[in-house]
Structure 1
């Protein structure tokens, strides 16, 4: 009795999730041999190739998926990630813009756009995209740390504090945010407040190395 492509797909997903990328790749390829229009298999196979660093194969999988279903937002997201990994930022931006045309409120896309503009040192655009991501999904706590770091680079300490404090509300037991707040107050020469935050960081995680290095 032949296995259905859906069964191979489930097996492939389990292999991928467990880090067995080569075996997962073979299983996804088997799915596509049986059912060449299985879009989800193309997407997952592209992700495997991306993890393996086989960027050309990953792009080819995305292109095959789009031939079957041209308006798949998630495929443009994967394409953007591939180009971003290759430092082909303009191609990545174009792919992300295609995703936003199809799904304007796709928070993850704005996060990736923000990271590209941050690397290109276009900080106004980075801030815009990170803040747009937070408007859509306020619970992406890591973006608040990133924004705080950008504001520190720009010397906008009060805006950095707002970002870190909002992160603190989401993750009150994260030692990193208290370390970051300590850093801001150090830059403002408010050493008493800085020490309080560094001590808070260490009270949560006594071996927190960044606090020891200050």
Structure 2
């Protein structure tokens, strides 16, 4: 891509960012009235950033700011460069300089919040996300981010308040909630021990591939507890298989086939789980019970010895020994 095409492309992106960040506020000073030399350096910085030449980009944008420090986009670009260089504090400072020029910029506020969160300063990050949402309440995804952050610090009540607000807004907008809404509601119900409610939300989630490994395991657990095997199977075939390692998914398949009475397929799935390195003591016990029903004493003893080596303190050892 030659230089002129790069500049055209990047200026279009810049125009979009300008409108996006400041949808309700008109610039006090016309952009076209600014010195062309400042914007020439800004264009140079955009091209250098596009090419990954961060230091040159920083040098060019600093020249633009030296000529005109009243253009917020200059500071936004500077912040983006620092962010690309993984210099969070400098990026935050540059974004805050942009806010000093145009305070009502939800995208900038959200970016500052994200940077604070990445630094581990969650409460400060949440504060900036709330400010961003206050300026643009159409960005309801911000509420989901805030709710997840509250869940990460075990503030279930605050997370529930945010999710309830989000749900009402979606109903008023006649829009379906995002999959993460259902998953977070399911997580909270699971933490409270409300299996039926957790199953309700996990089942309602329209995106099975959106489940994390931990959420899928929780969903399998609650579906099993309330005997909703149709929902169990739907998740089993829809979940992202790349998130499961060491034969874990084979184990859950085995449980399904066992409960519907297909012991041969259950045995096959449990054996695949073992072959792929799964060491759950429950797996050994499930397979041992199937071997017992089929009078396979040698296989039970082999399982027993293997579990004894891997988990010598497992309570399942005593149960397995009783089978032979």
Establish whether TM, by shorter chain, passes 0.5.
yes
Distance 1:212 1:16, change over 3 A: farther
TM-score by length of 1: 0.74
Does structure 2 retain, via aligned residues, the 8 Å contact 1:110–1:133? yes
2:94 matches 1:95: yes
Task: Report the equivalent of 1:196.
Answer: 200
**1:73, distance to aligned residue in structure 2 (A):** 0.7
Alignment of 1:5-24 (within 5 A): 12-14=7-9
Between the aligned partners of 1:159 and 1:77, the Cα distance in structure 2 is: 32
**1:102, distance to aligned residue in structure 2 (A):** 0.9
Between the aligned partners of 2:115 and 2:9, the Cα distance in structure 1 is: 31
Alignment of 1:49-198 (within 5 A): 49-168=48-167, 169-170=169-170, 172-198=176-202
TM-score by length of 2: 0.51
SS of aligned partner of 1:155: coil
Structure 1 unaligned runs (5+)? 1-7, 19-34
Does structure 2 retain, via aligned residues, the 8 Å contact 1:84–1:92? yes
Larger radius of gyration: 2
Distance 1:174 1:126, change over 3 A: same
**1:93, distance to aligned residue in structure 2 (A):** 2.0
**1:97, distance to aligned residue in structure 2 (A):** 1.8
Distance 1:42 1:127, change over 3 A: same
Does structure 2 retain, via aligned residues, the 8 Å contact 1:16–1:48? no
Distance 1:107 1:206, change over 3 A: closer
Q: Which has the higher contact order (CA 8 A, sep 6+)?
A: 1
Distance 1:178 1:80, change over 3 A: same
